[in-house]
Amino acid sequence: MSTQAPDPFTTLLDLNSGSLDPERKVVERRHSNMADMYLEEYADGMADTVIYSVHEISVPTTNSNLMSSTTVIQPGTVGQEYYMTKGHFHKIRDRAEIYIGISGEGRLVMAKEDGLYTVEAMRRGTINYVPGGWAHRSVNVGDEPLVFFAVYPGDAGYDYGTIEEEGFPVLVVAGEDGPEVVPNPRYKAASPSEAG
Ligand code: PAN
Ligand code: ZN
């Protein structure tokens, strides 16, 4: 069949840890994989420490299939910035995505290429809709792991390069009274403006 539909299958999600049974593909991102994404450098000896892991339920990468994954972001900071994902646009820009919060407390930073941005809450029970054309990065602002489930078209793909070069318009940092959203001094794209 041209849609390359897999046979029906079931996966068990551990609602505490975010791990899957069976585990198929797990990607771990360490400080050494994200060196230039934070304003400050990570501390000596932290290079191999895992910041987050992505547990994927892989399907053929066609538009007729739905890819899904859980992401587990550890609590912590680099300088004032909370641990976060790299963030990306989808390679096929118009592909949307849904995030379902499972545990922990986070923020979802979304931005369009023209600098329009928004920051949404993530916690157990939130359902964040990421429309096509919006880059997305999730940030753990709590003391526990942030766990969420993501579903997106199988052919969405990842464009990490644009964010690596331009950054997001805003950063989420630990302020005196908790998380604060501040302008990113290294943001290179168009002028930031807050949505809605
Ligand atoms: C998510 C992300 C996951 C990790 O599954 O891929 O949270 O973030 P980065 O891919 O930015 O490292 C998703 O948005 N998929 O499309
Ligand atoms: Zn995505």
Q: Ligand 1 centroid vs 89 CA: distance in angstroms?
A: 10
Residue 69, ligand 1, Cβ within 6 A: yes
pLDDT score of 9 more than 50: yes
Q: Which domain holds residue 24?
A: 12-195
pLDDT category, 2, cuts 50, 70, 90?
low
pLDDT category, 183, cuts 50, 70, 90?
very high
Q: What pLDDT is attached to residue 35?
A: 85
Q: Ligand 2 centroid vs 179 CA: distance in angstroms?
A: 23
Average pLDDT over residues 138-164: 98
110 within a domain of the structure (yes/no)? yes
Q: Ligand 2 centroid vs 176 CA: distance in angstroms?
A: 31
pLDDT category, 29, cuts 50, 70, 90?
very high
107 within a domain of the structure (yes/no)? yes
CATH of the domain at 146: 2.60.120.10
pLDDT category, 6, cuts 50, 70, 90?
very high
Q: Which atom of ligand 1 is nearest to the CA of 130?
A: 14
Average pLDDT over residues 43-58: 96
183 within a domain of the structure (yes/no)? yes
* Minimum CA distance residue for ligand 1 atom 11: 87
pLDDT category, 1, cuts 50, 70, 90?
very low
Rounded to whole angstroms, the Cα distance separating 28 from 71 reads 10
Residue 68, ligand 1, Cβ within 6 A: no
Length of the chain: 196
7 within a domain of the structure (yes/no)? no
Average pLDDT over residues 70-85: 98
Q: How many domains does the chain have?
A: 1
Question: Are the beta carbons of 136 and 110 closer than 8 angstroms?
Answer: yes
Rounded to whole angstroms, the Cα distance separating 127 from 161 reads 27
Residue 30, ligand 1, Cβ within 6 A: no
- Residue whose token pair is 């007729």: 64
Strand, helix or coil for residue 156: coil
Average pLDDT over residues 183-191: 90
116 within a domain of the structure (yes/no)? yes
Show Cβ contacts of residue 157 under 8 Å, excluding neighbours closer than 6 positions. Answer: 61, 90, 91, 92, 95
pLDDT score of 88 more than 80: yes
Show Cβ contacts of residue 194 under 8 Å, excluding neighbours closer than 6 positions. Answer: 116, 117, 118
5 within a domain of the structure (yes/no)? no
4 within a domain of the structure (yes/no)? no
What average pLDDT does the chain have? Answer: 96
81 within a domain of the structure (yes/no)? yes
